[in-house]
């Protein structure tokens, strides 16, 4: 009896192994069929460029960088390496790209994903991508900006501007060369910090007074309005606070008749 039972177990194990091998073989065949169908799908294109674009798309979909080398057209081969390199966060794949701009684009995207300044340094003799790399990383990590390393003046100004506003850093804001952008920077920081001294550094007269008016409104402080020299902006400043605080008596202090009427009508609607 024990011998028969043992034989049954051996037969059962052999059957299980046979079924497992059959399933794995079937799966292997299915994978090959899928891959072949992909290739056959690209074969429908007569145009070589379209066919190789199709193959590149398939390789990208499957993260198959090894198959990129089978693509004859440099454009699609480089594109294949670029997209897979970025997806897999692999600079070794980027190094296989022949076109320098495409390679730098690959390095830049990975540098941004990793927040790695060191990878920006791999970009040589290409001011555009080098600047783009330092600019994006400075914005992503404003506590450790690299705006000073940017060569293009416009890009450098934009970097200083964005980092300054993000960190309320007036010293960095002062590095902006373009005066309109510098005014915008100081205006934003003035309002963000609720500091009228920062507003006073804005060179454009209207923007400077609007900056003070906005702080007065946010703090609901009539006295701050008195720092405004322009009669109209000064009046609007006090009127907006009166409306917010629902203090109709303040309308009497408005010297501009039209605005005084607006203030009084608003208060009547709110009462």
Mean pLDDT over 75-101 rounds to 95
User: Is 260 contained in some domain?
Assistant: yes
User: Is 208 contained in some domain?
Assistant: yes
Examine the pLDDT at 20 and tell me if it is beyond 70. Answer: no
Least confident of 41-45, 49-53, 131-135: 41-45
User: Is 271 contained in some domain?
Assistant: yes
pTM tops 0.85: no
Question: Would you call 230 helix, strand, or coil by DSSP?
Answer: coil
pLDDT tens by residue, 177-216: 999 999 999 999 999 999 999 999 999 999 999 999 999 9
Highest mean pLDDT among 11-15, 236-240, 266-270: 236-240
Burial degree of 223 (CB within 10 A; 0-12, 13-18, 19+): exposed
User: Is 217 contained in some domain?
Assistant: yes
Mean pLDDT over 44-65 rounds to 91
pLDDT tens by residue, 244-260: 898 888 888 877 888 88
Q: Range of 256's domain?
A: 204-271
Examine the pLDDT at 151 and tell me if it is beyond 60. Answer: yes
Structurally, the chain folds into a number of domains equal to 1
Query: Which residue would you say has higher pLDDT here, 236 or 11?
Result: 236
Beta-sheet strands, E only, within the chain: none
User: Is 243 contained in some domain?
Assistant: yes
Task: Give me the pLDDT at residue 72, please.
Answer: 93
User: Is 263 contained in some domain?
Assistant: yes
User: Is 179 contained in some domain?
Assistant: no
- Picking from 67, 129, 70, the residue whose alpha carbon sits closest to that of residue 101 is 129
Mean pLDDT of the chain: 86
- Picking from 249, 252, 217, the residue whose alpha carbon sits closest to that of residue 233 is 217
Kind and range of the H or E run holding 218: helix 205-219
User: Is 186 contained in some domain?
Assistant: no
């Amino acid at each position: 009896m024990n011998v028969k039972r043992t034989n049954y177990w051996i037969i059962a194990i052999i059957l299980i192994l046979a079924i497992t091998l059959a399933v794995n073989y079937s799966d292997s065949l299915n994978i090959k069929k899928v891959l072949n169908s992909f290739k056959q799908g690209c074969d429908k294109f007569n145009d070589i460029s379209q066919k190789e674009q199709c193959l590149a798309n398939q390789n990208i979909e499957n993260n198959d960088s090894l198959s990129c080398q089978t693509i004859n057209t440099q454009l699609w081969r480089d594109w294949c390496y670029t997209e897979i390199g970025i997806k897999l966060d692999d600079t070794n794949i980027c190094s296989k790209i022949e076109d320098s701009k495409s390679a730098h684009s690959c390095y830049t995207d990975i540098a941004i994903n990793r927040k790695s300044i060191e990878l920006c340094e791999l970009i040589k003799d290409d001011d555009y991508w080098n600047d783009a790399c330092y600019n994006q990383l400075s914005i992503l990590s404003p506590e450790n900006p690299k705006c000073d390393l940017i060569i293009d003046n416009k890009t450098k100004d934009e970097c200083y501007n964005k980092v300054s506003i993000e960190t309320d850093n007036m010293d960095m804001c002062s590095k902006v060369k373009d005066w309109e952008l510098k005014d915008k920077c100081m205006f934003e920081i003035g309002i963000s910090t609720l500091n009228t001294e920062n507003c006073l550094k804005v060179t454009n007269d209207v923007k400077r007074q609007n900056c003070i008016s906005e702080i007065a409104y946010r703090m609901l402080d009539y006295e701050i309005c008195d720092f405004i020299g322009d009669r109209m902006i000064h009046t609007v400043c006090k009127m907006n606070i009166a409306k917010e605080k629902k203090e109709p008596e303040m309308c009497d202090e408005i010297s501009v008749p039209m605005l005084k009427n607006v203030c009084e009508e608003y208060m009547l609607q709110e009462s």
